[in-house]
Amino acid sequence: MENGQHIEFEFIEWGSVKYIQSLALRYEVLRKPLGMIFDPAIFPEEKGDIHLVANHGDWLVGCMILSTVGNDMKMRQVAVANKYRRNRVGARMVASAEAQAIEMGKQKMVLHARDSALDFYLSLGYNIVGDQFEEVGISHHRMEKSFV
């Protein structure tokens, strides 16, 4: 992996083969550890979103969803395969997402971070906004980063 140097990032189409692969990665990293089942009802809800993935050769190793919320962009469902963590894959994926948001004229990026991800987002310049809350049965914080 050499610190993620051979990772390529791309925006993919909803419903594509890589989209289906991203669903599998999201299940493995985000849902399975919480005992959540795969829910195909999410398919239509994500059709209008922007889907970003990280590839290492033929392997999809990271993914996230970007949703337009007024003048802001919301980052969600961020997942990096366990084997590729701590190699700056997530940080580079976030940087790609921020560049896309800026190109689209968005004022800030917002997200709901699990407590386990707070330090990661703080290290990338995100700020905690408001009080801790529960989502999908675990503690989260709203975070944001302004582009203006």
Say how many domains are in the chain.
1
> Which of 144, 114, 108 lies closest to 126 in space, CA to CA?
144
pLDDT band at 5, cuts 50/70/90?
low
pLDDT (average), residues 70-99: 94
* CATH code, domain with 12: 3.40.630.30
Supply the Cα-derived Rg of the chain in whole angstroms.
Answer: 15
What tens digit of pLDDT does each residue of 26-84 get? 999 999 988 888 777 777 889 999 999 999 998 999 999 999 999 999 999 999 999 99
Which residue range is the domain that position 103 belongs to? Answer: 2-146
Going from the C-alpha of 90 to that of each of 44, 51, 80, 95, 139, the distances in angstroms are 26, 14, 7, 9, 21
